[in-house]
Amino acid sequence: MKNVKALILCGGKGKRLRPITYYIQKTMIPVGYKQRPLLEYIVRLFRFHNLRDLAFLVNYKAEQIRNFFDDGARFGVKIRYIPDSQLLKGTGGSVINAYKNRFFNEKDTVIVYYGDIITNMNLKELIDFHVGKKAMATLALASGFEVRVGVADLAEGEKIVGFIEKPKLEKPVSVGILVLEGKALKDSMKLAEEKATMDLMGDLIPRLTEAKEPVYGFLSDAFWYDVGSTEAYEKLDKRRIRDTMSFLF
């Protein structure tokens, strides 16, 4: 596997996890029976797949993260901390800020991981797929995503003619992990300057597809869970976490 750098988004205030995140950085919330920080599972996943060059994009309550992980040595990785820019907003702005801080350049490949996701996905297979396709960007995707609300079919006059509680989507969804070539970020500098906020999924990926760049989807059946809301956090199954993530420990 080629040398790849990893960016983990850890700077958000976690508004959907309030009131917990008034006191705890969202990536540091305790998960599982042993109450390990969510971010520890992520770091150990990267280490398991021999991805050791990490950067945390930090802002809100960054010291909680620094104090726990330090330079990453006790986890077998190297961690650099990059403060989120106050000028470039959004997830895309955060990643471009890492580019400006020379964590990577246009010749590098980077894997971007949203810090409120827990998964046992094989990151090596994701990167090998990306490299094999000679992609500019590759999104990790999962099928069968269950919508957490009911969906209604409406006829004329707003009459409900069908209703499905928590249906599963037919189309694959993004799981919050993507691989990018550094060149994609270099070419997106102008886009970031044009917008007050730049989102990776909402702005950068559509721009790449519109430009006919090679963008691929890596469909995985791995376990993944978005812990980014209070409701989701409360429903997180500790037994499932133990059974699926124990290989990291």
What are 75-116's pLDDT values in tens digits?
999 999 988 765 566 677 777 777 777 777 778 889 999 999
Full-model pTM: 0.85
State yes or no: pLDDT of 157 exceeds 70: no
State yes or no: pLDDT of 37 exceeds 90: yes
Q: What local confidence, expressed as pLDDT, does residue 38 receive?
A: 95
State yes or no: pLDDT of 148 exceeds 90: no
Residue 68 contacts residue 29 (beta carbons within 8 Å)? no
Each residue of 233-245: pLDDT tens digit?
898 999 999 999 9
Residue 93 contacts residue 85 (beta carbons within 8 Å)? yes
Q: Which helix (H) or strand (E) holds 33?
A: none
Q: What local confidence, expressed as pLDDT, does residue 70 receive?
A: 94
Q: What local confidence, expressed as pLDDT, does residue 60 receive?
A: 87
Q: For 156, which DSSP code? A: G
* Domains present along the chain, CATH in parentheses: 5-142+171-248 (3.90.550.10)
Sign of the C-alpha dihedral, residues 12, 95, 226, 54?
negative
Q: What local confidence, expressed as pLDDT, does residue 43 receive?
A: 96
State yes or no: pLDDT of 166 exceeds 60: yes
State yes or no: pLDDT of 165 exceeds 90: no
Q: What local confidence, expressed as pLDDT, does residue 190 receive?
A: 65
With helix as H, strand as E and coil as C, how does 181-236 read?
A: EHHHHHHCHHHHHHCCECCHHHHHHHHHHHCCCCEEEEECCCCEEECCCHHHHHHC
State yes or no: pLDDT of 147 exceeds 70: no
State yes or no: pLDDT of 193 exceeds 80: no
Q: What local confidence, expressed as pLDDT, does residue 65 receive?
A: 94
Q: What local confidence, expressed as pLDDT, does residue 81 receive?
A: 92
Please provide the average confidence, as pLDDT, over all residues in the chain.
84
CA atoms of 230 and 50, how far apart (whole Å): 32
User: Bigger pLDDT: 185 or 226?
Assistant: 226
Residue type, 188: S
